[in-house]
Amino acid sequence: MLVVSVVSLKGGVGKTTVTLGLAGAAKARGVQTLVVDLDPQANATTVLDPVDVRFTANDVLADARPGVLGDAVAETAWGDYVDVLASEAALEHRNHPAAGTSVEHRLRSSMAGLTGYDLVLVDCPPSLGELTKNALAACHLALVVTEPTLFAVTGAQHALTAVDVVRRGFNLRLRPAGIVVNRYRGQSGEHRYRLDELLAAYRDLVLDPVLPERSAITQAQGACVPVQRWPTPGAREVALVFAQHLDHLLAVGPADGSLTKGARSR
């Protein structure tokens, strides 16, 4: 099982879009996937439209007993291959725990022994609070999302530094999986310039191809269906990009072998 966190320290850049695009690509491929929605805004949950939510990520983090996450996952309106651990607004207060308490291992502990999934995608909130730390502590790979703007390089840099801090602090298996450049418009000189900047700084990490801006993405999300099922040329274009990014993640894989602090033996 491969666990991937989708991160950026900024909102609105496309974390949820990338999470859902990868989940749709995984579904099309028959890869059993769990989306863990760790954003209190619950956008991924809304689009996946789960059938019967009895417990949310908030309940799971409150409990945190080994394996409890498995009891909280819900089936989604997307059907086979994609389940969700739903979010809710009340999750927000877990982003700011009382000073001195260390709670970053709760997601990882709740996932212990989880079976039935090939891929777990964790959609993170737009900050490096306790929720994103929980995601980074629980995953093998961190996928950074950015837009080709003035702040892209510094934004990616901050996210990668955060990944490194968590890796050295409490998850030695954690590695960056790459940088997704989202909402790219090839006609824009500014976008081309910013992409060049990103490539100059992180050539090995920028995922190819970039994800173009296409209204099909918003339309499919509005209809609560995978973009892979949206019947327009724009949708087919982005579906192809997500399929390639999924290939990349599965090829990089979990890279077992390094024991982490606090890793539990099964």
Ligand X SMILES: Nc1ncnc2c1ncn2[C@@H]1O[C@H](COP(=O)(O)OP(=O)(O)O)[C@@H](O)[C@H]1O
> Which of 124/210 has CB closer to Mg ion?
124
**CB of residue 18 vs ligand X: minimum separation in angstroms?**
7
Nearer of residues 64 and 220 to ligand X, judged by Cβ:
220
Binder to ligand X among 31, 182, 202, 243 (CB under 6 A)? 182
Q: At closest approach, how far in Å is the CB of 239 from ligand X?
A: 12
CB of 6 to Mg ion, least distance (A): 9
Stretch that binds ligand X, among 4-12, 27-35, 77-85, 193-201 (CB under 6 A): 4-12
Which residue type occupies 165? V
Q: Which of residues 188, 218, 244, 258 is near ligand X by CB under 6 A?
A: 218
Least Å from the CB of residue 183 to ligand X: 5
Binding of residue 188 to ligand X (CB under 6 A): no
The pair of three-digit structure tokens given for residue 14, joined into one six-digit string:
């496309």
Question: Is residue 105 within the footprint of ligand X (CB under 6 A)?
Answer: no
Binders of ligand X: how many residues, by CB under 6 A?
18
Q: Is residue 211 close enough to count as binding ligand X by CB under 6 A?
A: yes
Which of 46/260 has CB closer to ligand X? 46
Instruction: State the Rg of the chain over Cα.
Output: 17
Residue whose CB is less far from Mg ion, 89 or 259: 89
Among 15, 108, 133, 191, binds ligand X (CB under 6 A): 15
28-47 residues in contact with Mg ion (CB under 5 A) are: 39, 43
Q: Which is nearer to ligand X, 42 or 74 (CB)?
A: 42
Give the DSSP per-residue string, 24-78: HHHHHHT--EEEEE--TT-HHHHHH--S--S--HHHHHHH--TTGGGGT-EE-TT
Spatial separation of the C-alpha atoms in residues 189 and 182, rounded to whole Å? 15
CB of 104 to ligand X, least distance (A): 21
Does position 17 bind Mg ion by CB under 5 A?
no
Q: Which two tokens stand for residue 226?
A: 């995978």
Residue 221 CB, nearest distance to ligand X (Å)? 5
**At closest approach, how far in Å is the CB of 47 from Mg ion?**
10
Q: Which residues bind ligand X (CB under 6 A)?
A: 8, 11-17, 43, 126, 182-183, 211, 213-214, 217-218, 221
Q: Which residues bind Mg ion (CB under 5 A)?
A: 15-16, 39, 43
